[in-house]
Amino acid sequence: MPSKKSPDHFQLAKCPTGIQGLDEITLGGIPRGRPTLITGAAGSGKTLIGLEFLVKGATEFNEPGVFMAFEETAEELATNVSSLGFDLNTLVKEKKLALDYVYLERSEIDETGEYDLEGLFVRLGYAIDSIQAKRVVLDTIEVLFSSFANENILRAELRRLFRWLKQKGVTAIVTGERGTDSITRYGIEEYVADCVILLDHRVNEQLSTRRLRVVKYRGSYHGTNEYPFLIDKDGISILPITSLGLIADAPLEKISTGIPGLDAMFEGKGYYVGSTLLVSGTAGTGKSTLAAQFAVAACKRKERVIYFAFEESPQQILRNMRQAGVDLEPCINDKSLIIRSERPSQLGLEMHLLQMMKMVAEFKPHAVVLDPMTNLISVGVEGDVKSIFTRFIDFLKMKQVTCLFTSLVEPGGFEMTAAGVSSLMDAWIMLKQIDIHGESSRTLTIVKSRGMGHVNQSMEYRLTADGLILEDAPGLSRA
């Protein structure tokens, strides 16, 4: 009786793109030795994905590539992507990349009445053979087939092109323009391609967001959601939502809150490493001061910290915290602290999230402060906020980064505002200002603390020239 073959025997060979996030979404890359169609409207990033696929292949995987353009010359392409750090001219000199611009004039084709792909096959085949290319990009297919009026001929020639690419054994990306009522202009390309990736650049409430979706992938599982992506100085970064989940480790090590009295409320030991903390309160209760003291304590342990601010500039934060008795400047000077300030309205919530994740991946901090998260929530679409913050928290937990969020709430509105995301937090600290008979006092309460014993009564605190100080409160019971 024949033995059963291992499931690995049937796995589709894949070609890693080297594009951050895309290989996770496609579970290893695009199909090796087969054509992939990338479609989208003008400005969605089709050409850039194709070029980055070739550059990463040449520089990281030792796979030379050919880029055949029908709209931009080789000089224009090299200039356009130089700001992203892609040196196409050097790769061409090293025979790791071939750039070929093919000029097609529709009026000349119409005059002769003859058009086939034989000349293209000869030219592309020569370019492939000259550098032993493993990767090919054709940009864009509409220019190539714009003179075909007969749909049957168009379909036959498309199949012929894709079959030729397969016979050459190259992994190909073919870009195409999105149609009005279909994924592509002709509504045919997506049927003959083995993998189809759709790019979208939409504007919602004056905020633009780029998204990517794998529409089709023959012979392979893949992420099916829409994934926001960013184009910046390093190229393309995609947020692979499905790669995040409840698989993070749970360290037993604890770190100081930066406030001795608050450490005492957490059994004298502080927070767990990699935990997420929410500090909520009305204006003037000292949320930012508590966050700054946490950041300074981390820096004193020789740890790196990123402080994401959405209300004040870095210089304002340094001045205000200095007046509150917390000096952040030494942390800035020794490069253990980075303060990144940005108005929430500059980007959509997902783009903010993507930029923060990218910065965390590059700086590799031990702790992160987000102050205040309320401002960031205000630019999100209702119903998506909790999902987006879940991704960010999962991302930080995977890297065992301790994160402190502050939340500004209106008087009497703790449950309505903070509770929306409080279920995601490991610990929730509530700050209140109470006025009784003309006298004002401030109290701190640990609302919850997963896996950590804590004082379950409110304690008074003062905002002094030495920061936030908790008053002694002997005889308090412990949870």
Query: Could you report the per-residue pLDDT of 330-353, keeping only the tens digit for each?
Result: 999 999 999 999 887 777 777 788
Tell me the one-letter amino acid at 144.
L
Residue with tokens 């879940």: 390
Instruction: Assign 406 a pLDDT band (cuts: 50, 70, 90).
Output: very high
168 phi and psi angles, rounded to 5 deg: -75, -15
Tell me the one-letter amino acid at 347.
L
Contact 430, 445 (CB under 8 A): yes
State residue 68's pLDDT score: 93
Contact 307, 338 (CB under 8 A): yes
Kindly state the DSSP code that residue 400 receives in the 8-state scheme: T
C-alpha–C-alpha distance, residues 425 and 406, integer Å: 12
Closest CA to 393 of 438, 426, 364, 431: 426
3-class SS at 410? coil
User: What is Dmax (Cα atoms) for the chain?
Assistant: 97
Query: Could you report the per-residue pLDDT of 36-75, keeping only the tens digit for each?
Result: 999 998 888 999 999 999 999 999 999 999 999 988 888 9
State residue 392's pLDDT score: 85
C-alpha–C-alpha distance, residues 293 and 131, integer Å: 58
Classify 254-470 by CATH class.
Answer: alpha beta
Long-range contacts of 72-78 (CB under 8 A, 24+ apart): 72/47, 72/101, 72/139, 73/101, 74/99, 74/100, 74/101, 77/47, 77/51
421-456 b/e (C-beta count within 10 Å ≥ 16 → b): bbeebbbbbbbbeeeeeeeeebbbbbbbbeebebbe
321 phi and psi angles, rounded to 5 deg: -70, -30
State residue 113's pLDDT score: 46
Does the pLDDT of residue 8 top 60, yes or no? no
Tell me the one-letter amino acid at 104.
L
112 phi and psi angles, rounded to 5 deg: -80, -30
pTM of the model: 0.74
Sorted by sequence, the CB contacts under 8 Å of residue 128 that are 6+ apart come out as 66, 136, 168, 170
Instruction: Assign 476 a pLDDT band (cuts: 50, 70, 90).
Output: very low
CA 245 to each of CA 21, 316, 394: distance values in angstroms, whole numbers, following the listed order: 15, 37, 6
Instruction: Assign 478 a pLDDT band (cuts: 50, 70, 90).
Output: very low
Question: What are the strands, taking DSSP E only, across 65-109?
Answer: 65-69, 97-101
Same fold yes or no, 8-243 and 254-470: yes
Tell me the one-letter amino acid at 105.
E
Contact 198, 216 (CB under 8 A): no
Does the pLDDT of residue 111 top 50, yes or no? no
Instruction: Assign 116 a pLDDT band (cuts: 50, 70, 90).
Output: low
Kindly state the DSSP code that residue 186 receives in the 8-state scheme: S
Query: Could you report the per-residue pLDDT of 425-471, keeping only the tens digit for each?
Result: 899 999 988 877 667 789 999 998 888 888 888 899 999 999 999 87
DSSP 23-35: HHHTTS-EETTSE
3-class SS at 254? strand
Does the pLDDT of residue 387 top 80, yes or no? no
3-class SS at 86? coil
Q: Which residues pair with 178 in a beta bridge?
A: none
Contact 367, 295 (CB under 8 A): yes
Q: What residues does each domain of the chain span?
A: 8-243, 254-470
Contact 65, 50 (CB under 8 A): no
Average pLDDT, the chain: 83
Sorted by sequence, the CB contacts under 8 Å of residue 474 that are 6+ apart come out as none
Query: Could you report the per-residue pLDDT of 152-191, keeping only the tens digit for each?
Result: 777 777 888 889 999 999 999 999 888 766 676 666 677 7
Instruction: Assign 479 a pLDDT band (cuts: 50, 70, 90).
Output: very low
Query: Could you report the per-residue pLDDT of 280-317, keeping only the tens digit for each?
Result: 998 889 999 999 999 999 999 999 999 999 889 999 99
Radius of gyration, alpha carbons of the chain: 28
State residue 248's pLDDT score: 66
State residue 49's pLDDT score: 94
State residue 131's pLDDT score: 95
Among 201-205, 364-368, 401-405, whose mean pLDDT is lowest? 201-205
Kindly state the DSSP code that residue 183 receives in the 8-state scheme: S
Does the pLDDT of residue 122 top 50, yes or no? yes
| Alpha carbon of residue 358 to chain centroid | 6
Does the pLDDT of residue 16 top 80, yes or no? yes
Closest CA to 405 of 269, 271, 261, 309: 309
Closest CA to 178 of 367, 321, 38, 385: 38
Question: Does the domain spanning 8-243 belong to CATH 3.30.70.890?
Answer: no
C-alpha–C-alpha distance, residues 433 and 411, integer Å: 9
Q: What angle do CA 52, 56, 58 make, to 5 degrees?
A: 120
Sorted by sequence, the CB contacts under 8 Å of residue 314 that are 6+ apart come out as 332, 339, 341
